[in-house]
Structure 1
Amino acid sequence: MKLILASSSPRRKELLKKITNEFTVIASDFDENTISFQGDVSQYVIELAKAKAMDVLNKIKNEARYKEILHEDFFIVGCDTVVEIENNILGKPKDNLEAEIMLGKLSGKIHRVYSGIALLNASKNVFKTDYACTEVAFSKLSREEIKHYVASGESLDKAGAYGIQGKAAIFVEEIKGCYYNIVGLPLNKLYKMFLEMGVNLK
C-alpha cells in the first residue's frame, strides 16, 4: 500500500511522520476560492479536503511521472484547515496588513480551528471524510505585539495568520480539543479513520 499526502505544508508532513514514515508528498494545486463558504464550517473544510484529494488523484492519473503509482494500492490524504470566529472564516492572509487585521479580530477572544480530512482509497474509489474542531482562547494583544509578530514572517502561510507551534504560542491562554488540529493535521482523528478503512499504520 502507498500513502500520499496531498499537501505541500511542512507542518502536515512533520505531523504525519508521527504516525508513519512511509508516505509520498504530492501537493494539490486546487483553487480553494472555487468553493464558497455556505455557513457550515465543518462541511466547508471537508469539501476543501476532498477537492484537494481529488486534485491529486487526477494528477496521478494524468501525469506520466506518476504512472508507477497507478499499479499499486494507494491512499490519498487531503486536509484543509481554517480559523472561524463569529461565523467568519479566516484563511491564509494575502499580505501583512490582512494578517494584522486577522490577529486583531482574534485578540482577547475565543476562536475555533477546523480541519477537514478526506481519506481516499483510490484503488477502490472509496472516500471517508471527517473533521476536527478545537477552541482557542487568545490573550488581549496590543497593536505593537501584533505588528512585531507579523514582522517575523510567520503569519503569511497559516490560517488565521498565526502558528501555535511558533512565536504565537505566547498568545494562547487556553485550548479545548486537539492541539495537532491547530497545527494542521488532527492525528488522532486521522489514525482512527485509517483503522475504519482497515489500515493500521502502527
Structure 2
Amino acid sequence: MNFILASASDRRKELLNRLIKEYEVIPSSFDEDSIVFTGDVGKYVKELSLGKAEYIRNDIKKPSIIIAADTVVSLEDKVLGKPKDKGDAFKMLQSLSGKTHQVYSGITVINTENNKLISDYVCTDVTFSVISKEEIDEYINTGEPMDKAGSYGIQGFGGVFVEKIDGCYYSVVGLPLNKLKNILRDIVK
C-alpha cells in the first residue's frame, strides 16, 4: 500500500519514520482559516486534519493511505496557534507561564482504496513552570517559537519550560504515534 503524509513538517516526518519506512510527502494546501473555531477544541483539530487529508485526496491516483494531522495549543478554552510575530509569541509564552494548558492533535487517516476514514484527536495537559521575561526573550531570539502552535516546541529549547505533561508526548510534538498506530491497524484491513 502507498502511504502519504499530508504535511511538510519535519517533526511529523521524523515521527512517522518510527511507524512507516516508505511514504510520500504531499503537503496539503488546505485553507485552515476556512474552519471556524466554535469552542470545541477537539472537534476543531479533527476538522483541520480532515480538511488537510480531503484536500489532497482528489489528486491521488493510486490506492493510498493518507495521513494528516494538526496540532493546537489551548489555554482556558482559547486556541493559541502559531505566532504572527515576536510580540505575539511573547504574549503567548507569558500567558502559559506557571499554568497548565492543553495540546490537541487531530489526526485523520483515509484509505482511498475502500474509502474508509478515521478521524480522532488526542489531548495532553502540559504544565509550564514560571518563566521570566528574560527567559521568554532569549527563547524567542532562538527563532524556534515562530512556527510552533503556542509559540514553543517541547522537543527543542522550549522543553525547558515544561514542568510536567499528562498524556502523549508525541501528540505535543505533532503526531500522536500510539493513536496513529491503532488507526492504521484498523484502516488497512
Same fold (TM over 0.5): yes
1:119 aligns with 2:109: yes
Q: Kindly report which structure 2 residues correspond to 1:28-177, keeping only aligned pairs within 5 A, or say none.
A: 28-58=28-58, 60-61=59-60, 70=61, 72-177=62-167
Scaled by the length of structure 2, the TM-score of the pair is 0.97
Match of 2:7 in 1: 7
Q: Which AA in structure 2 matches 1:50?
A: L
Counterpart CA distance in 1 for 2:19 and 2:166 is 23
Task: After the TM superposition, list the runs of 4 or more consecutive aligned residues in structure 1 that deviate by more than 4 angstroms.
Answer: none
Q: CA offsets, 1:94-125, max 9 Å, x none?
A: 11111111101100000000000000111222
Contact 2:45–2:71 under 8 Å retained in 1: yes
User: Matched residue of 1:18: which SS?
Assistant: coil
Unaligned runs of 5+ residues in structure 1 are 62-69
1:31 Cα offset (Å): 1.4
Counterpart CA distance in 2 for 1:119 and 1:40 is 21
1:192 aligns with 2:165: no
RMSD: 1.0
Q: CA offsets, 1:48-87, max 9 Å, x none?
A: 00000011113x25xxxxxxxx1x3201001000000100
Q: Which AA in structure 2 matches 1:57?
A: R
User: Matched residue of 1:164: which SS?
Assistant: coil
Counterpart CA distance in 2 for 1:27 and 1:73 is 18
Counterpart CA distance in 2 for 1:41 and 1:122 is 27
1:168 Cα offset (Å): 1.0
Number of aligned residue pairs: give it.
189
Counterpart CA distance in 1 for 2:64 and 2:183 is 15
Counterpart CA distance in 1 for 2:34 and 2:91 is 24
Counterpart CA distance in 1 for 2:83 and 2:30 is 17
Counterpart CA distance in 2 for 1:52 and 1:143 is 36
Counterpart CA distance in 1 for 2:38 and 2:90 is 25
1:197 Cα offset (Å): 1.5
Counterpart CA distance in 2 for 1:44 and 1:76 is 19
Counterpart CA distance in 1 for 2:30 and 2:187 is 25
Match of 1:66 in 2: none
Counterpart CA distance in 2 for 1:39 and 1:166 is 29
